[in-house]
């Protein structure tokens, strides 16, 4: 079976694709893959490192601001799109895939459009509760639309018969993780209650600042804190922390790090996670049944992170705090409330687990197989 995968720009589009590829390799060892992405997106660095054949396309997204600069840019974008459809058709004809799957991002548009016009079974995967513009455009052309939040279903109402709930492949990739000793690498005790605070790979200034403001409270807490600042923010956060609360002692219950590579392993070993509400993070948290405090990023299209977070907070799997409330809501008081109530955390954990889709990749594989029969 030959499978062409496309998607990119951000990790939220790339990592689900890689998780799906990994699972397909486990179940179909004869499968052959080609990944089509952009020259500049993260996928151009990440995918080749996974020993997956990679083909780049030049394609850009549209600017929403329609001033002279925006209009000029969008005219160029249309030209790139037309050219990329032509190149995508050449790539597709050469590789001759049995099925194509797109996981979002601008590059998915020309590739999935081209594959559908060539009569190849094509699936698009929508990770968020608010459907992206690319997948909305592609829905009428492709064979199936896989979703991760039921909220997204109504946004494809003109193609309702194509929509299938599958969940996010990252969920299946982490679902079998158990509590482990991963906290030891940070000098923390795996046997003690621990929280993780992180705002994504680049960090989130509002979350970082709120944590530093409450540094004395975290230092005195009965639980441990692993504070992940993001690589770009680490030096300034360490400086601010020292200025406000002094040096971090070796026996301190707080450990500050710029980045963690094996984050799902850490999630599986902690009592509570404080984080943004990107689709991949929520797929991991719900697959593992981890209670959370979610602080949606306000800097995303159509405020989709708030919608993502509400899917958990509405069933008491998480607490939602809007970023603009961080100054009025005492973050550490909310964390302490949850950490002091084990029964509540256990209830949240169960609600979170019920939202998880631990067989998400298998559902997509079955969907693809159905299209080939």
pLDDT over 70 (residue 148): yes
Closest C-alpha among 170, 178, 175 to residue 361: 170
Query: What average pLDDT score do residues 268-297 get?
Result: 97
pLDDT the model gives residue 12: 87
The pair phi, psi for residue 75, each rounded to 5°, is -65, -45
The angle at the Cα of 20, spanning 17 to 24, to the nearest 5 degrees, equals 140
User: Any residues with CB less than 8 A from the CB of 28 and at least 6 apart, and which?
Assistant: 1, 365
pLDDT band at 82 (very low <50, low <70, confident <90, very high): confident
Beta-bridged to residue 35, according to DSSP, are 5, 54
DSSP conformational letter for 185: G
pLDDT band at 276 (very low <50, low <70, confident <90, very high): very high
How far apart are the C-alpha atoms of 272 and 257, rounded to whole Å? 17
pLDDT over 90 (residue 277): yes
pLDDT the model gives residue 2: 98
Q: Which of 54-63, 219-228, 244-253 has the lowest mean pLDDT?
A: 54-63
Name the percent of the chain lying above pLDDT 70: 94
pLDDT the model gives residue 66: 47
pLDDT the model gives residue 67: 52
Q: Which of 122-126, 159-163, 308-312, 323-327 has the lowest mean pLDDT?
A: 323-327
Q: Return the sign of the alpha-carbon dihedral for residues 85, 9, 45, 285.
A: negative
* 169-213 pLDDT, tens digit each: 999 999 999 999 999 999 999 999 999 999 987 789 999 999 999
pLDDT the model gives residue 81: 79
3-class secondary structure for 236-263?
A: HHHHHHHHHHCCCCCCCCEEEECCCCCH
Beta-bridged to residue 318, according to DSSP, are 292
Which helix (H) or strand (E) element contains residue 33? strand 32-38
Which structural domains are found in the chain, ordered by start?
A: 2-171+358-371 (3.40.50.2000), 182-355 (3.40.50.2000)
Task: Sort 79 into a burial class: Cβ within 10 Å, 0-12 / 13-18 / 19+.
Answer: exposed
pLDDT band at 61 (very low <50, low <70, confident <90, very high): low
Report the predicted TM-score, pTM, of the whole model to 2 decimal places.
Answer: 0.90
Compare 207 and 58 and report the one with higher pLDDT: 207
User: Any residues with CB less than 8 A from the CB of 99 and at least 6 apart, and which?
Assistant: 1, 3, 4, 120, 121, 122, 123, 368, 371, 372
Q: Do residues 52 and 33 touch, judged by C-beta distance below 8 A? A: yes
* 93-144 pLDDT, tens digit each: 999 999 999 999 889 999 999 999 999 999 999 999 999 888 999 999 999 9
pLDDT over 80 (residue 291): yes
pLDDT band at 330 (very low <50, low <70, confident <90, very high): confident
Mean of the per-residue pLDDT values for the chain?
92
pLDDT the model gives residue 49: 93
């Amino acid at each position: 079976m030959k499978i062409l995968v496309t998607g990119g720009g951000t990790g939220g589009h790339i990592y689900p694709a890689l998780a799906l590829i990994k699972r397909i390799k486990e179940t179909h060892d004869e499968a052959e893959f080609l990944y089509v992405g952009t020259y500049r997106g993260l996928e151009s660095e990440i995918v080749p490192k996974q020993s997956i054949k990679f083909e780049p396309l030049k394609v850009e997204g549209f600017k929403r601001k329609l001033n002279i600069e925006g209009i000029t840019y969008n005219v160029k974008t249309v030209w790139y799109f037309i050219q990329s459809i032509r190149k995508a058709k050449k790539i597709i004809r050469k590789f001759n895939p049995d099925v194509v799957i797109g996981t979002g991002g601008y590059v998915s548009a020309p590739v999935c459009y081209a594959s559908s016009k060539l009569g190849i079974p094509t699936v698009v995967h929508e990770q968020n509760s608010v459907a992206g513009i690319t997948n909305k455009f592609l829905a009428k052309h492709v064979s199936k639309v896989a979703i991760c939040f039921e909220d997204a279903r109504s946004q494809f109402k003109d193609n309702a018969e194509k929509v299938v709930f599958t969940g996010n492949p990252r969920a299946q990739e982490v679902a079998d993780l158990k509590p482990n000793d991963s906290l030891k690498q940070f000098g923390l005790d795996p046997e003690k209650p621990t929280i993780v605070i992180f705002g994504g790979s680049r960090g989130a200034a509002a979350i970082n600042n709120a944590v530093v403001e409450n540094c004395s409270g975290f230092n005195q807490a009965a639980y441990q804190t692993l504070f992940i600042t993001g690589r770009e923010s680490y030096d300034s956060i360490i400086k601010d922390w020292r200025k406000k609360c002094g040096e971090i002692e070796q026996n301190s219950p707080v450990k500050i790090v710029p980045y963690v590579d094996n984050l799902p392993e850490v999630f599986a070993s902690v009592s509570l996670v404080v984080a943004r509400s990107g689709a991949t993070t929520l797929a991991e948290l719900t697959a593992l049944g981890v209670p959370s405090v979610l602080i949606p990023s306000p800097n995303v299209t159509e405020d989709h992170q708030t919608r993502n977070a509400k899917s958990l907070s509405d069933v008491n799997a998480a607490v939602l705090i809007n970023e603009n409330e961080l100054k009025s809501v005492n973050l550490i008081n909310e964390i302490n409330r949850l950490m002091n109530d084990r029964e509540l955390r256990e209830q949240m954990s169960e609600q979170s687990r019920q939202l998880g889709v631990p067989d998400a990749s298998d559902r997509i594989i079955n969907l693809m197989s159905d299209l080939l029969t």
